[in-house]
Amino acid sequence: MTFNPKILKINPSIFILCTLLAACSAVPETGRSQLLLVNPAQEAQMGSQEFDKLKKSTPISKDPAGNAQLQRVGQRIAAVAPMANAQWEFVLFDKPDVPNAFCLPGGKVGVFSGILPITKDDAGLATVIGHEVAHAVARHGAERMSQDALFQILGEAALGRTSETNRALIQQAYGLGVALPHSRDQELEADHLGLLYMARAGYDPHEAVAFWKRFSEYNKTHGGGKPVAFLSTHPLDEKRISQLEGLLPQADTEYKKTATKP
């Protein structure tokens, strides 16, 4: 998506200021301020289109037990996720060597079968699904697209006369100083929200810490050396485990409420 203030025939600085004021929003639960220049309908359409492509190009698992577990856990998490007009869809992809999952805007969640031996049970899978659903609820995809669009505007306004070398250096600084740390912040935020969602869905939040410890051990065994935290879009396992442990009292409160429901 391209935003060009020249089309509006106004000063780029005024356009940027108005854009920031109009697009200011806050993430549910955490209250973190975020910039959103993409509306939910556009975001959902893009997510749905990409998910359809993936379903055509990537083998879908035919494992009845794995598929049943994913639908069971996914629907329970979706039921407590505060996302209006979501078109939730949970698909298990047949990738036994890929221990991963993802969520596209609008509520399209993909899980690779390689993560199931690490999740082990419903609560472990709820940790993963809660995390991915949280990305959709917090609209992290739209936020990153909005940041890219704003950087393009700023580039046109401020870098128009800058040499190509300087432009490349500034863009590199943006990537290392803004994009990667923000992505790590989004991951930690998804951990936070996902922990609350799994607790509200009736899954013991302590199992989230257990899952990430298992995943950490898997990384050490199969992933070789750890990635450098500064250059990683995901936080190191120790940091996310520490955050989750600190959030357990809040999540326990939510979990206990489910025990009182009829």
Rounded Cα gap, residues 150 and 60, in angstroms: 37
**Where do we find the tokens 């709820």?**
126
Question: How many domains is the chain partitioned into structurally?
Answer: 1
The torsion angles phi and psi of 85, rounded to 5 degrees, stand at 60, 25
- How many Cβ atoms sit within 10 Å of the Cβ of residue 64? 8
- Residue numbers annotated as active site: 132
Query: What single-letter DSSP state applies at residue 113?
Result: G
- H helices present in 206-236, as ranges: 206-222
Assign 91 to helix, strand or coil.
strand
Largest CA distance in the chain: 67
Q: Which of 99-108, 153-162, 246-255 has the lowest mean pLDDT?
A: 153-162
Decide if 64 contacts 118 (C-beta within 8 A).
Answer: no
The residue count for the chain: 262
Range of the structural domain that residue 146 is part of: 5-259
Q: pLDDT tens across 113-149, in order? A: 999 999 999 999 999 999 999 999 998 887 887 777 6
Q: pLDDT tens across 15-71, in order? A: 444 444 445 677 788 888 887 777 888 888 888 999 999 999 999 999 999 999 999
Q: Which two tokens stand for residue 14?
A: 């005024």
Rounded Cα gap, residues 127 and 132, in angstroms: 9
pLDDT band with cut points at 50, 70 and 90 for residue 102:
very high
Rounded Cα gap, residues 235 and 239, in angstroms: 6
Assign 64 to helix, strand or coil.
helix
pLDDT at 183: 84
